[in-house]
Structure 1
């Protein structure tokens, strides 16, 4: 069934008013609130936090081997034997079911007084592993924040595009109404009405598709926030850029703050501790031991002695020294490999520094280029707005055709959506630059 002009008008009104019914109660999710929710709920960040907690537990004094080992021992032995003893005088002595019993219990202490400083460097290595795990968690947080704003800014872009398409649909709807009146009074042909109706249909479909894409992207953002997928919200579409002078000061400190460089430095420190730990294998180990024990033994009678019960209690202490003068070359091999591993880490650091320098240069170039594109697109919107307003006046005066008016309208739509895209691409490029120079988590959003 062919739709009339009035029906097209009703469809346009319905499509235009639908978002106001759906989003009227939605609160704005600010950037800072989005970050807070992500840090609190995001699963990747939670896993990274647990990993840091494990590393912190490992770096505790309780896991350092600096504390003594205290343990208890207890035991019992019971035996039943038949004994026969032949004496020199020709007599023999037999004892059947001779029972022997012994019981013991002790509290023992063992402590390593000196192990060639191996324990010291192992403890330092655990501390450095904790520091490295915090750097890895920071990298996870940075990547997650970038993921967050990649989706957040896409929601913002689509939100602004929806507003543009709603305004476009309103203009096209009014055009259908005007063309209908003009046709009724014989001022134009049915073709003008049909063209206006086609444009309303196309604008309605574009708006519906963009709204659906917006809803899908909002669900993507809720996944990053790790909350109910159906949670409704609006986003902040305001964008401000960091002053150039401030960015330059950040870039000057990039080598000190980039997380990849810091991780490589931590890996070199761990390699140094491994070398020191391997050196400790060439030195002696001195240990201290002590115990307090109780022993009881019950012996049966024999050919020469009667049965007896014996109990002993007391302290016992000892000092031990162990020095591996030669272990088949294992310690020497381990020491050599530890030095090679450190050399590898230093080479990797040089490679990472070169890559980071390149990444910063690329990120800065992309950011500056996209900011320039955004400024050009802003001017392009102004130009197309002026062109559209003039075309609208001339169309109302009958000086241009509906096709020419529609082209001016499409040009304005493209200019506005391209400006939105350029704005959020430039801002996201700025965040990527901030990550490379190690400042992403130090700025206010």
Structure 2
């Protein structure tokens, strides 16, 4: 997300020049066009899309600051809500593990009704055989309790592992927050970039329109050839195209900012310009910055806690060879009626459970747990290397963009002076329109380059803050 495309490029296109030469009339519009004549082709009508971009600032009533964008992301970004849900689930698993330390009590009850028929043979000759029916009622109920006494660390190991995993998930949630803020800041600076580039495009179009009027006047009095007019009309058309593209890039950048904030709303707002202050220690040596990052970054802390959790899991798995000791108790009530004539009995004792042979299951599980531990340790080493690379890249980008901004500022000053001189030479009759057009293109590109360098530096510092594990970013409102 470091690269922000330049959307302005003014060049003289022969195909456009040909089209202008073949069709000097004003482009069609949905509104009545001002009166024009063949002798005054400079008074062409601005296309509706360009008119819209020229008045866009007036329609943008809301102003969003960087703090507003970050606050919206904290509240609405789905990735943050998902990370929070995962953290809540992890701590719920901690409570599940702790439940094994507490007594396990269960109860059951049943009541059955039954009927049995039995034939009875009468002793009196000639009498019918009788049938005797018997009904039965039976109630049974019991309460059983089991309390773990000792299992050689299996239950405590699972509990410790679940706590470390929950802590790791909480650290991962913090990393998700930092990534979300980095994305918001990058998108915000991209909006500022496109906004400034739109201003450059608008200024360029205004300059080209003013110059077109001047050239047209010179052509009318015969002091300049007609080809100058065609050249300038081409330059103006190219400026209109660049403005339309800049307008589209600006609207697209705001839509991307909405996505990073996690909001679904209109983009009828503008953003407040900001200047990002230098990151504390951004000029320190690399090893010092890497040490800061390893101590502060939540993804590094999460990996450490995952390793601790897996180490506990290895101990739990090895303890599968050992027995478990628990206390048991049972209270039962059996009879025809639970309140009358029932037999109440109680039992209690100590129970030792020991799986003497499981076909090598525990050994296989232990090998798997150790392999998972080695995997996490390798991931930790890879993460340390990745952190070092990210810090070094971010630091180098900050240095490079600072120097590029200085050079871009100088280039813009020189390009502005070149344009001023070219326009003066043209008015004096010693220059030509090609020289002026080239100077205008150079100045526009230099201005766009200066804009790009300005917000590249802001983005680079935001990236360095993320690489160092710093949530806060010091900014100053500048517009």
* TM more than 0.5: yes
Alignment partner, residue 110 of structure 2: 75
Q: Which residue of 2 aligns with 1:91?
A: none
**Structure 1 CA distance, aligned partners of 2:131 and 2:109?**
30
- Asked whether 1:290 is paired with 2:332, we answer no
| 1:217-273 alpha-carbon deviations (Å, 9 max, x no partner) | 222222222323423111233332425635636543122223443232122111111
**Aligned match of 1:55:** 90
Gap change, CA 1:444 and 1:244, over 3 Å in 2: closer
Structure 1 residue 127 corresponds to structure 2 residue 157: no
Where is the helix percentage greater, Structure 1 or Structure 2?
Answer: 1
Tell me whether 60-69 or 198-207 shows the greater mean CA deviation.
Answer: 60-69
Measure, in 2, the Cα distance between the counterparts of 1:169 and 1:191. 20
- Give the length in aligned residue pairs: 426
Contact 1:151 1:220 in 2 (8 A): yes
Does the 8 Å contact 2:276/2:474 carry over to 1?
no
Partner SS state of residue 399, structure 1: coil
Moved more, 96-105 or 127-136: 96-105
375-384 or 98-107, which moves further after superposition?
A: 98-107
1:264 equivalent to 2:303? Answer yes
Q: How many angstroms apart in 2 are the aligned matches of 1:68 and 1:231?
A: 58
Partner of 1:202: 238
Match of 2:226 among 190, 208, 211: 190
1:23 to 34, 49, 57: 57
| Cα distance change on mapping 1:375 and 1:167 into 2, 3 Å | same
Aligned-pair distance for 1:296?
1.3
Q: Matched residues in 2 for 1:201 and 1:144: separation?
A: 40
CA distance in 2, matches of 1:149, 1:243: 15
Match of 1:38 among 60, 73, 83: 73
Q: Which residue of 1 aligns with 2:212?
A: 176
Q: How much does 1:386 deviate?
A: 1.9
* Aligned partner (choices 291, 300, 317) of residue 252 of structure 1: 291
User: Which residue of 1 is the match for residue 31 of structure 2?
Assistant: none
CA change 1:119–1:412 in 2 (3 A) is same
Asked if structure 2 preserves the Cα contact closer than 8 Å seen for 1:161 and 1:417, the reply is yes
Q: CA deviation at 1:410?
A: 0.6
Q: What is the SS of the residue equivalent to 1:40?
A: helix
Correspondences of 1:100-179 after superposition (within 5 Å): 100-179=136-215
Aligned partner of residue 36 in structure 1, secondary structure: helix
- SS at the partner of 1:442? coil
Cα 1:314–1:244 shift into 2, 3 Å: closer
- In structure 1, stretches of 5+ residues that fail to align are 86-93, 299-308
C-alpha separation between the residues in 2 aligned to 1:220 and 1:355?
27
State the distance in 1 between where 2:374 and 2:47 align. Answer: 71
User: Which residue in 2 is equivalent to 1:420?
Assistant: 451
Deviates more, 1:327-336 or 1:94-103: 94-103
Please list every run of 5 or more consecutive structure 2 residues that lacks an aligned counterpart in the other structure. 1-22, 27-35, 121-129
Q: Distance in 1 between matches of 2:374 and 2:451?
A: 49
The question of whether the paired residues in 1 share the 8 Å contact of 2:168 and 2:303 is answered with no
Q: 1:11 to 1:22 in 2, by over 3 A?
A: same
Are 2:426 and 2:433, in contact at CA under 8 Å, matched by a contact in 1?
A: yes
Partner of 2:45, secondary structure, is helix
How far apart in 1 are the matches of 2:455 and 2:395? 16
Q: Is the 8 A contact 2:150 2:326 kept in 1?
A: yes
For 1:15 and 1:404, the matched residues in 2 are separated by 29
CA apart distance, 1:168 = 1.0
Does 1:279 find its partner at 2:318? yes
Contact 2:426 2:436 in 1 (8 A): yes
Shift of residue 215, structure 1, vs aligned partner: 1.2
Q: Give RMSD over aligned pairs.
A: 2.9
Provide the TM-score with structure 2 as the length reference.
0.80
User: Secondary structure in 1 aligned to 2:281?
Assistant: helix
Contact kept, 8 Å, 1:161 with 1:210, in 2: the verdict is yes
Deviations 1:187-212 (A, max 9, x none): 33333333222222211121012102
- Verify the 8 A CA contact 2:289 2:391 in the aligned structure 1: no
- Displacement of 1:179 after TM fit? 2.1
* Shift in alpha-carbon separation, 1:412–1:238, aligned structure 2, 3 A: farther
Runs of 4+ residues deviating >4 angstroms:
4-8, 12-17, 82-85
Q: Deviations over 1:51-97 (max 9, x none)?
A: 11111222236754222223321012344345699xxxxxxxx9943
- The 2-side partners of 1:160 and 1:268 are apart by 48
Does the C-alpha gap of structure 1 residues 141 and 408 become closer, same or farther in structure 2, counting only changes over 3 Å?
same
Q: What whole-Å deviation, never above 9, does each CA across 1:9-68 have from its counterpart, x for those lacking one?
A: 453497765335333243221111111111211122221221111112222367542222
Deviates more, 1:181-190 or 1:168-177: 181-190
Deviation at 1:378, TM superposition (A): 1.7
Contact 1:16 1:169 in 2 (8 A): no
CA distance in 2, matches of 1:225, 1:209: 24
